[in-house]
């Protein structure tokens, strides 16, 4: 996942984009970048690291202009250690285009070959985002036919992109001297929304919190397959560019990825997590009698709403038992399993009095690799817990995700090929309770009747784009890891089983 933002204003936008990226920092901590435009010239600064580390005063002063875009990157394709793969990406023809992308292309490899042999365009990195930029640039060049750019030409190019590109993509691009473009894949897998400030500035971003936190009023989500083009004077043009769009957002956004104060596709992330806690309560009761649970403790941070609702419904005390060090990066999005294992106890510390002599039910938003869960269960035992039960607000993660979440191979998933009892033994808890897949979909989907289904591929193995094979997953996996990480964690290179496709 990544966080993206774009702004068209009448005032300088460098600070505004910086502030919006801080609000989206949870979506990516590997690299950050901003591009602004003054007249027809682009000004760019990007580097590896957190927003606060990448941008210093001298960098901000070098980003003039009233139009711009930015991204916080979390790599799922390409090389996690390559400075060149930080976004935005730039091409000088046609017109000059810069682009940021959240998502993952599933056909990047054949597209890269087409760009070289047929489109005669060059890509310089392994990033699928650079492929997407060059496909769009080629189609825009075709649609303009050497004449001045019109809005209809931009939409024609997006229609052509939808026909060639597969996978998940929320995109924001600047076309030099013409305006800002935002579009979303035909399934709307990754989120994108639009808002406006009181002074007429228009912002598009990954989550509503980026808009609201910078004094923009949320207006609406960009629809699946839709393209929105904003001219320098703030005029918004919109057109549906996909032949058969349908709304299938990634359900993991609601389970874990998005901030709880965001609203995605008409669904409050916080309310979705409350609902997940409500449906999880039924599963807990059927596994562990409530009178055998002394206290319910969330594993910070995303599980708190679910744990709160679960405790309320079961009539069991809710307690905070872990204190999080906010100055350690999110374990889930750290490159390299070795770093992930090392960081758990640096990241969390127990409040011993909440565990000693008690039967404790820990609640997590999801269990992916199991390494963190195993460590946390042991921390609870070391603090004196008599029994440690573990409940997950999400179902077992059994399948690779190819749409931009860091779970690319089955081999890393603790639930793959294991029964719930075998997973319990691997984690070391006294009882393990998972959310039901259909209950999860119902809990979140009930909040917006327009949703035609979710991408829940990591839970149910159904890939909404309909084009994924085991070979595709293996190829995507090979393309996303850097050499250093390959040496450290060779399990990432293992082929998934055929039935996982």
Phi and psi for 210 in degrees, rounded to 5?
Answer: -70, -35
Q: Are 79 and 479 in contact (CB under 8 A)?
A: no
d(CA 306, CA 393): 7
Which helix (H) or strand (E) segment is 35 a member of? strand 31-38
| Pick from 329, 300, 425: nearest CA to 370 | 425
Reported for 142-145, long-range contacts at CB under 8 A and 24+ positions apart, including other chains, are: 144/94
Query: Residue for token digits 């998972």?
Result: 434
Q: What token pair was written down for 171? A: 């995109």
| Pick from 491, 472, 372, 490: nearest CA to 426 | 372
Which of the residues 2, 193, 250, 458 is marked catalytic? Answer: 2
Helix axes 337-347, 371-382, angle to 10 degrees: 30
Angle 29-30-31 from CA coordinates, rounded to 5°: 100
d(CA 24, CA 22): 5
- Report in angstroms the alpha-carbon separations of 266 from 397, 447, 500: 25, 8, 31
CA torsion, ordered 58, 7, 127, 250, to nearest 10 deg: 130
Query: Residue for token digits 């010239």?
Result: 41
Q: Quick check: helix, strand or coil at residue 338?
A: helix
CA torsion, ordered 373, 376, 378, 384, to nearest 10 deg: -140
Residue 2 is among the residues annotated as catalytic for this protein:
yes
Q: Quick check: helix, strand or coil at residue 499?
A: helix
Name the maximum alpha-carbon separation found in the chain: 77
Look at the alpha carbons of 67, 72, 78, 84 in this order and tell me if their dihedral is positive or negative.
Answer: positive
Catalytic residues: 2
């Amino acid at each position: 996942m990544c966080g993206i933002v774009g702004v068209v204003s009448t005032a300088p936008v460098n600070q505004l984009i910086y502030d919006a990226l801080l609000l989206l920092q949870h979506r990516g901590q590997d690299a950050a970048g901003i591009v602004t435009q003054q007249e027809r010239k682009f000004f760019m600064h990007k580097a590896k690291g957190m927003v606060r580390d990448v941008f210093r005063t001298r960098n901000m002063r070098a980003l003039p202009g009233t139009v711009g875009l930015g991204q916080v990157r979390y790599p799922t394709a390409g090389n996690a250690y390559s400075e060149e793969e930080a976004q935005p990406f730039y091409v000088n023809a046609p017109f000059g285009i810069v682009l940021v992308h959240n998502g993952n292309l599933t056909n990047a490899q054949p597209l890269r070959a087409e760009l070289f042999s047929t489109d005669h365009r060059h890509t310089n990195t392994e990033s699928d985002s650079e492929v997407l930029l060059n496909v769009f640039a080629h189609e825009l060049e075709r649609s303009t036919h050497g004449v001045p750019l019109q809005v209809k030409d931009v939409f024609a190019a997006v229609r052509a992109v939808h026909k060639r590109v597969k996978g998940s993509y929320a995109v924001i691009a600047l076309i030099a001297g013409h305006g800002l473009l935002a579009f979303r894949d035909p399934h709307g897998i990754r989120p994108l929304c639009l808002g406006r400030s009181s002074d007429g500035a228009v912002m598009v971003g990954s989550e509503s919190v980026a808009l609201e936190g910078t004094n923009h009023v949320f207006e609406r989500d960009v629809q699946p397959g839709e393209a929105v083009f904003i001219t320098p004077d703030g005029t918004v043009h919109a057109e549906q560019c996909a032949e058969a769009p349908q709304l299938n957002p990634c359900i993991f956004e609601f389970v874990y990825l998005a901030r709880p104060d965001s609203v995605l596709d008409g669904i409050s992330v916080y309310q979705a997590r409350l609902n997940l806690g409500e449906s999880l309560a039924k599963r807990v009761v059927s596994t562990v009698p409530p009178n055998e649970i002394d206290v319910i403790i969330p594993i910070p941070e995303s599980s708190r709403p679910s744990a709160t609702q679960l405790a309320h419904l079961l009539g069991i005390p809710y307690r905070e038992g872990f204190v999080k060090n906010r100055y350690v990066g999110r374990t889930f999005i750290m490159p390299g399993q070795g770093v992930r294992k090392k960081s758990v106890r640096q990241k969390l510390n127990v409040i011993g009095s909440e565990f000693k002599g008690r039967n404790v039910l820990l609640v997590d938003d999801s269990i992916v690799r199991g390494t963190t869960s195993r460590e946390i269960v042991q921390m609870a035992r070391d603090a004196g817990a008599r029994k440690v039960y573990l409940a997950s607000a999400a179902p077992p993660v059994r399948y690779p995700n190819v749409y931009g979440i860091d779970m690319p191979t089955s081999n890393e998933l603790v639930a793959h090929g294991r029964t719930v009892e075998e997973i319990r033994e691997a984690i070391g808890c006294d009882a393990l309770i998972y959310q039901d897949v259909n209950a999860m979909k119902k809990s979140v989907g009930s909040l917006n009747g327009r949703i035609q289904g979710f991408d829940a591929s990591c839970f149910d193995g159904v890939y909404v784009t309909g084009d994924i094979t085991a070979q595709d997953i293996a190829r995507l996996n090979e393309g996303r890891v850097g050499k250093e990480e390959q040496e450290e964690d060779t399990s990432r290179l293992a082929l998934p089983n055929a039935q996982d496709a």
